[in-house]
Amino acid sequence: MSKPSNKEMTIDQVVAELRDGMTIGIGGWGPRRKPMALVRAILRSDLKDLDIVSWGGADVGLLAEAGKIRSLTYAFVSLDSIPLEPLFQQARQNRTIPVIHEWDEGMFNTGLQAAAQRLPFLPMRAGLGSDVLRNNPELKLVKSPYADANGDHEEFVAVPALKLDVAMVHLNRADVHGNASYLGPDPYFDDLFCMAADRAYVSCEQIVDTAGLTVDTPVQRVLLHRTMVTGVVETPNGAHFTTCTPDYERDEKFQKHYAASTADPEDWAAFKARFLSGDEAAYQAAVAEFTKEQA
């Protein structure tokens, strides 16, 4: 019997496999367990014209500010304690994202489910009678082929599959084969992102032996199976400044500094020079220095 393959990669190796014009799904939820190290690597790259699918947070804001996004499909873009992600807000107001698809959260989930099941669409009631249909005229309605008790054929929204070229997610632990587990309170649909994609890359806080994935952890927390994953990257603190419970919570001081910096062009230039001008190691060193200053 052949052994499972070793899928360990570096951040730069993952980004080297991406191409202009790809549809990239970014897992996590707003400011929670986002694969920020991979997002920062995309910022450093020459990639452009990306179609981004995300329950958005700073991932969307940063990619929008960098001019990387050709189209964006989202249900919200928030930092929680800061209700509207500031760089995304600027991009929406200035209309710098060419194509926007703003969906209901249930529709977003259904689109991922359709892609995961290799279906062109799935029907649902969410969106009926709402401005979602007016603001997204590409969405179609479909009638049920089955009559109800009154002989009527109910009409639904035909939610198109959110088919992804690539998914990027961040989990707490993984092995080199692509099995990965979350230790916090919520899986955040990361498994759906991976199943909806042709290729899926997982960054994690720590790569462990396969047996270690279930040590002191319920088996059901193993969210991703190796058959769903193309590559694994060990990136300690790689979700910063979002949460990665229980390894760390959201860095509220840094998030406030980030948001405040976006309000002034000079402050934002200084923020980028300090935190986003180097590689991931330079970012983590700058964050450590910032944390000492705030102590």
pLDDT digits (tens, 9 = 90+) for 10-40: 999 999 999 999 999 999 999 999 999 999 9
How does pLDDT run across 51-62, given as a tens digit for each residue? 999 999 999 999
Q: 267 — phi, psi (to 5°)? A: -65, -40
Among candidates 83, 96, 93, which has minimal Cα distance to 255?
83
**Measured distance CA(133)–CA(66) in Å, rounded:** 29
pLDDT at residue 3 in the model: 76
pLDDT at residue 66 in the model: 97
**Measured distance CA(276)–CA(274) in Å, rounded:** 6
pLDDT at residue 220 in the model: 66
pLDDT at residue 1 in the model: 53
Coil, helix or strand at residue 152:
coil
pLDDT at residue 67 in the model: 97
Mean confidence (pLDDT) of the chain: 95
Burial of 293 (0-12, 13-18, 19+ CB in 10 A): exposed
> Where exactly are the structural domains of the chain?
11-103+162-250, 122-160
Provide DSSP, 87-107. HHHHHHHHT-SSEEEE--HHH
**Measured distance CA(48)–CA(42) in Å, rounded:** 9
Percentage of residues in the chain having pLDDT higher than 70: 98
Q: Which residues fall within 8 angstroms of residue 232, CB to CB, at 6 or more apart?
A: 7, 8, 9, 174, 175, 176, 177, 178, 180, 201, 202, 203, 204, 207
Q: Work out the pLDDT band at 142, boundaries 50, 70, 90.
A: very high
pTM of the model: 0.95
**Measured distance CA(228)–CA(222) in Å, rounded:** 12
How does pLDDT run across 207-255, given as a tens digit for each residue? 999 988 877 666 568 899 999 999 999 999 999 999 999 999 999 999 9
pLDDT at residue 212 in the model: 83
Lowest mean pLDDT among 90-104, 167-181, 204-218, 246-260: 204-218
pLDDT at residue 213 in the model: 85
Q: 209 — phi, psi (to 5°)? A: -60, 150
Q: Which residues fall within 8 angstroms of residue 65, CB to CB, at 6 or more apart?
A: 87, 90, 91, 262
Are the C-beta atoms of residues 28 and 188 closer than 8 Å to each other? yes
Q: Report, at the CATH architecture level, how domain 11-103+162-250 is classified.
A: 3-Layer(aba) Sandwich (3.40)
For residue 255, give the H/E element and its range: helix 252-261
